[in-house]
Structure 1
Amino acid sequence: MSWIDYAQSLLDKSWLGTLLGIAGLVFGGLTYLWTRKRTSLAYVHLGEHLLGSASDALPSEIVVQYNGISIPRLTKSILIFWNSGENTIKGEDIVAKDPLRFHVGDDGRILSILILKSSRVVNDFSLLPPREEDINEMEFTFNFLDANDGVVVEILHTSTDRKPRIKGTLRGLPLGFRNLGQFTRPKPQKSGKLRSISSNLLPIVMVLGGFLTAVYGPRPSFLANPDTGLFFYSFLGAFVGMWLNNRFWTRRKYPKSLHTEALE
């Protein structure tokens, strides 16, 4: 059989058109992701009450002070803030009348803020001296942020709200900042890199191997049976769907460059 006849026989197969259509959709989606240009800033957060709770303050018999100030509770919040788009964001675009600032709940005050990690020194991310009237806010500024540039900030405060927010106005960002919610602490990697890669690729290998076997290889007898075959493919689809769902919800939402041991 010549290669022309072989190519013709492939084109006559119905599954090939479906496969090419799926490949075209995937290629189009990847092309869009590679070429898009967005202006976007995002942040995620994590908080816990170190002393006291959201509903109750410390008992009156217990007196806790921070730098001579009595506090009803002590809350620690971690906030990861980064350029989630592709366009460079310049600090000169911060609107002076509405500066960028970290904000905790209205019932609390900021005790201290510590920058745990910054992407690059040249970003010149800095905290501004607090104003006496703004006890629950801290202004910040930066020189510029390229894609995935950002900072990890730890805030100690007295608010019942463990979820800090970012306020302020930046030119070219009319919709404000994207709050991606609470992030999940990543689990320490105890297994080797090879084992981690194999576990991540196993479902993909299974699906690809099943597809190639169904097209080119001998099919097991139970797949020819409509009942058992439907059950098998339903089980395989459910397994892959749960794997994809788990990968999506447990993925790291922030850039890898901002990961630090303090987040584990």
Structure 2
Amino acid sequence: MSWIDAAFIFLEKAWLGTLVGIIGLIAGIVAYIWSRRRTSLGYVHLGEHLLGGASEKLPSAIQVQYNGINIPRLTKSVLILWNNGENTVLGNDIVARDPLRLVVGDDGEILSASVLKATREFNDFEILKKPENAPNEVAFTFDFLDANDGVVVEVLHTSSSRKPMVKGTMRGLPKGVRNMGQFARPKPQKKKRSGPVAAAVSVLSHPYVLACAGFLFAVYGPRPTFPSDPKLYNGVMGGMGGFFGMWVFTTWSARRKYPKSLHLESLE
């Protein structure tokens, strides 16, 4: 058999057209994501009650003071704000009548707000003085934020709500700063092993390699002789597919949603 005959036999495979279509779809999605240009700011948050709880204040027999003022509870909220688009965001586009600001619940007061980490000092991110008429708010400003530029801000306050918000208006951001929800604490990174065995394991365990191996096995691998009932076989395969889909969704939703440059060990 010549190589031309072998090529024609290969091209007659029923699954080849499906594979080409899937590859084309994936290539189109990748090309779109690669070429898009968005203007966007996003943030994630995490909070905990250091003293007191969400429903109850500290007992009257216990007095806690901050700068000589009695406080009903002490809550710490960490907020990670960054440019999650592709276009540069300029601080000059902040509307003066509705500045960007960190806001906690109406039942609390912001005691302090400090920057724990910034991607670049030249962004000139600055937390402004707390207004007297809004004790649960504090404004902030910056010079510019390129893609993935951002800050980690710690807010100490007395609100029962642990979820801070970012409010305000910017030109070019009609929907405002995007709240991407609470982030999961990432697991501590283990030390990576070195050597040829570790390199081989790393390559072979890559999702793309596993996907290619699974596809080749499905096409050229042996066909199972059980179960004999096609409906039962389809049910088993459907269940396995559903379980795998749930695992992928759970892993994707629990991923770290902020740039690695803003990671802190204290967030683990």
Question: What TM-score do you get using the length of structure 1 for normalisation?
Answer: 0.91
1:226 and 2:227 are equivalent in the alignment: no
- Cα distance change on mapping 1:200 and 1:126 into 2, 3 Å: farther
Per-residue deviation, 1:243: 2.6
1:240 and 2:205 are equivalent in the alignment: no
- Mapped to 2, the partners of 1:217 and 1:138 lie a distance apart of 62
Which residues of 2 match residues 110-125 of structure 1 at below 5 A? 110-125=110-125
User: Could you say which residue in structure 1 is the equivalent of 2:69?
Assistant: 69
- Mapped to 2, the partners of 1:171 and 1:123 lie a distance apart of 18
Aligned residues: 263
Which residues of 2 match residues 149-188 of structure 1 at below 5 A? 149-188=149-188
CA contact (8 A) 2:74 2:157 kept: yes
1:209 and 2:226 are equivalent in the alignment: no
Q: Compare 73-82 and 198-207 and name the one that shifted more.
A: 198-207
1:95 maps to amino acid: V
CA contact (8 A) 1:213 1:219 kept: no
User: Could you say which residue in structure 2 is the equivalent of 1:97?
Assistant: 97
**Among the aligned pairs, what percent are the same residue?**
61
User: Could you say which residue in structure 1 is the equivalent of 2:263?
Assistant: 259
Per-residue deviation, 1:223: 7.8
Per-residue deviation, 1:174: 0.5
CA contact (8 A) 1:45 1:79 kept: yes
Per-residue deviation, 1:44: 0.7
User: Could you say which residue in structure 2 is the equivalent of 1:16?
Assistant: 16
- Cα distance change on mapping 1:200 and 1:129 into 2, 3 Å: farther
- Mapped to 1, the partners of 2:12 and 2:229 lie a distance apart of 25
CA contact (8 A) 1:119 1:149 kept: yes
- Mapped to 1, the partners of 2:52 and 2:233 lie a distance apart of 57
Aligned partner of residue 138 in structure 1, secondary structure = strand
- Mapped to 1, the partners of 2:36 and 2:152 lie a distance apart of 26
1:39 maps to amino acid: T
- Cα distance change on mapping 1:129 and 1:113 into 2, 3 Å: same
- Mapped to 1, the partners of 2:203 and 2:60 lie a distance apart of 52
Per-residue deviation, 1:213: 2.1
1:240 maps to amino acid: F
Q: What CA deviation, in whole Å up to 9, does each residue of 1:217-246 have, x standing for no partner? A: 444544887367535533542342233122
CA contact (8 A) 2:204 2:210 kept: no
Where do 5+ consecutive residues of structure 1 fail to align?
A: none
- Cα distance change on mapping 1:214 and 1:5 into 2, 3 Å: same
User: Could you say which residue in structure 2 is the equivalent of 1:84?
Assistant: 84
- Mapped to 1, the partners of 2:204 and 2:76 lie a distance apart of 33
- Cα distance change on mapping 1:241 and 1:202 into 2, 3 Å: farther
User: Could you say which residue in structure 2 is the equivalent of 1:36?
Assistant: 36
Per-residue deviation, 1:6: 2.4
Q: What CA deviation, in whole Å up to 9, does each residue of 1:71-118 have, x standing for no partner? A: 000000000111111111001111111111111111111111111111
User: Could you say which residue in structure 1 is the equivalent of 2:129?
Assistant: 129
Question: What TM-score do you get using the length of structure 2 for normalisation?
Answer: 0.89
Where do 5+ consecutive residues of structure 2 fail to align?
A: none
- Mapped to 2, the partners of 1:200 and 1:181 lie a distance apart of 34
Aligned partner of residue 111 in structure 1, secondary structure = strand
- Mapped to 2, the partners of 1:59 and 1:241 lie a distance apart of 48
Q: Compare 144-153 and 199-208 and name the one that shifted more.
A: 199-208
- Cα distance change on mapping 1:244 and 1:114 into 2, 3 Å: same
- Mapped to 2, the partners of 1:39 and 1:2 lie a distance apart of 56
- Mapped to 1, the partners of 2:72 and 2:62 lie a distance apart of 9
User: Could you say which residue in structure 2 is the equivalent of 1:5?
Assistant: 5
- Mapped to 1, the partners of 2:227 and 2:15 lie a distance apart of 17
